[in-house]
Amino acid sequence: MTTIADFLVMQLLVLLTLFAIYWVRERMAEKRAALLDASDSHAPPAQPRLRQVSAVAAASA
């Protein structure tokens, strides 16, 4: 037979599980935002590398 203590423990486990899911989703959203910010800040250096490859291709041709 289920007692009130068992019921309260189950409710606590459910709340902890929901909080863990929320916390993990927030952390993943923060990491995703940081990665997007990092990729935006690294976008300009991609152009000089492309020019360098073009210059090497032109020099070898």
DSSP assignments along 1-61, one per residue: ---HHHHHHHHHHHHHHHHHHHHHHHHHHHHHHHHHHHHHHTSTTHHHHHHHHHHHHHHH-
The count of domains in the chain is 1
Q: Does pLDDT of 20 surpass 60?
A: yes
Q: Is the pTM of this model over 0.75?
A: no
pLDDT value of residue 43: 54
Range of the domain at 30: 4-60
Map tokens 């863990």 to a residue: 20
